[in-house]
Chain A
Amino acid sequence: MEAASLQAEHHHGPPPANRSSRVDSSLLGMYLFIISEIMVFGAFFTAYFFIRVVAGDEWPAAGTELPKLIAGVNTAVLLSSSVTMHFALESAKAGNRNGLKLGVLTTFLLGATFLFVQINEYVHIGFSPSDSAQGSVFYGLTGLHGAHVTVGLTLLAFTTIRAFRGHFTPEDHRGVEIPGIYWHFVDVMWVVVYTTVYIL
């Protein structure tokens, strides 16, 4: 009785949540998220492959052209942002506060540059989603990815602000690690989108 009251006295916050799975809840959440993401992107890729393989239509639509070179440079920008993200976390682990700040800020700026170039591409590309099935799929796939970049930039904005406020230490850097995993996932998806939509 006395031990229970002593324990209750030292416990702060809500009671521990009931666990119905042997898998860690945060990991389970991440798995479910990634599975749902694969299904969303899969739906758009199905439409893409239907146009190119099943229907055998030309890609892109007749009279339109995709800016491969600009998108290629933009791909390099996005991939380099993954390198700076990795550098940021390694700096956090090593206790290099300036490296962490530089890393997350550069990652944010490179990601913002990618999004700016993507929007600029939409403005000058010369066709709209309603012009053709190819246009719909192009805007669908690149737009879906752009939405993910926007979410990633929001996470990175919080990480950058926290880094400049001195929130992360070599022991506690989960706030850099999780956005980092998400950011690399966004880059992986872009490699697939760029290769299939622009190159092949």
Chain B
Amino acid sequence: MLNPLRSEGEAFRFLLYVVAVFAVIVALVLLGRAIL
């Protein structure tokens, strides 16, 4: 399991996942606002 406190490499991977998840959230919200 990914533990961002274990090593710098895992912290970096965690950051990339967070960026990807928030990019999807922003895209969905902006899309929702454009449609509604």
List chain A positions with a Cβ less than 8 A from chain B.
27, 30-31, 34, 79, 82, 85-86, 89, 176-177, 180-181, 184-185, 187-188, 191-192, 195, 199-200
Contact = CB atoms under 8 A, between A and B. Distances in A.
Contacts, number: 52
Contacts of A176: 8
Given A185-B4, A199-B26, A200-B29, A86 B9 contact: yes
Given A191-B19, A191-B22, A27 B5 contact: yes
Contacts of A79: 15, 19
A29 to B, nearest CB: 10
What is the interface of chain A mostly: helix, strand, loop, or mixed?
A: helix
Across the A-B interface, give the 9 residue pairs with the lowest CB-CB distance, nearest first.
A180-B8, A184-B11, A181-B11, A86-B12, A184-B15, A177-B8, A195-B22, A89-B8, A188-B18
B15 to A, nearest CB: 5
Given A181-B4, A184-B4, A195 B26 contact: yes
Contact of A184 (B14, B22, B25, B29): B14
Contacts of A200: 26, 29
